[in-house]
Structure 1
C-alpha cells in the first residue's frame, strides 16, 4: 500500500520544515503550501489523505480554505493548527476534524494524524 499523503498548509518555514521532517520520518508522503491559494491548488490538483492547516496566513485564511476544501472533498480530514488556543472553541462551527495548538512538540499532532488516517 502506498504511503498516506499529508498536505501541510502553513506560512511559517520553520513549522513546514519541522512537520515535513517528522511526517516523512514516520512514513508519510508530504506536500507543502505556504499560503491559502497554494494550498487550495495543491488540494485540487492532487488530493491528499489529510490536511494540516494553519488559520492565520496570507491569501484566503485557513477558515476560508477549510470551507472550500470541505465543499470539494468532505471526506478528507483537516486538522486546524494554530498558535491561538481561543480558536479551539469554534471548532464545531468550522467543520474541521481536529484542532491542535501549534507547538514545536508535535506528539499530539502526530497522534491525531495517526488516529484520523486509521
Structure 2
C-alpha cells in the first residue's frame, strides 16, 4: 500500500483528498502546518507528497530540496491557487503541479 502525505492548512481539502484516496487503497497522512509536515515526512516516509505553498509557518515549496534529499524516489505534487509550476525546478518528472481548486477527476494522474 502506497503512503501519501498531504501538507495543507485547508483542513476541508485534506479531508476531501483523504476520503477520495483511502478507498483507492492509499495510506493517507495529514499535516496542517509545514513543521508538522516535515515531522510526518520523517516518520511516514511517504511515496507521494501533496505540498501546499502558503502555509501558516512558512512556504512549503521552500522545502522541495529537503524532501527530495530525504525521499529521492517520492513523487511531489505542488499545490497552489496563486502560481504555476516554478520554472527553477526545470523538468523534474517526479515533481508535478496542481492548481487549486483541485479536480478529483484529474487526481489519479498525480498518484
* Fold shared per TM-score above 0.5: yes
Cα distance between partner residues in 1 of 2:19 and 2:88: 27
2:37 aligns with 39
Q: Which aligned pairs between 1:4-19 and structure 2 lie closer than 5 A?
A: 4-19=2-17
- Cα deviation code 1:10-64 (max 9, x no counterpart): 0001101100100012111100000111110000112011101111112231112
The unaligned stretches of length 5 or more in structure 1 are 114-118
Q: TM-score, normalised by structure 2?
A: 0.87
Alignment partner of 1:92 out of 89, 95, 105: 89
Q: Taking structure 1 as reference, are residues 91 and 109 closer, same or farther at Cα in structure 2, changes over 3 Å only? A: farther
Q: Extract unaligned runs of 5+ from structure 2.
A: none
Alignment map for 1:16-31 (pairs within 5 Å):
16-31=14-29
Structure 2 residue aligned with 1:116: none
* 1:76/1:104 CA distance change after superposition, 3 Å: closer
TM-score in terms of structure 1 length: 0.82
Select the structure that is richer in strand. 2
Which deviates the most, 93-102 or 72-81?
Answer: 93-102
| Cα contact 1:36–1:59 (8 A) shared by 2 | yes
Within 1, Cα distance between the matches of 2:84 and 2:91? Answer: 10
Instruction: State how far apart, in whole Å, the 2-side matches of 1:87 and 1:19 are.
Output: 21
CA distance, structure 1, for counterparts of residue 88 and residue 19 of structure 2: 27
CA RMSD of aligned residues (A): 1.9
CA contact (8 A) 2:79 2:97 kept: yes
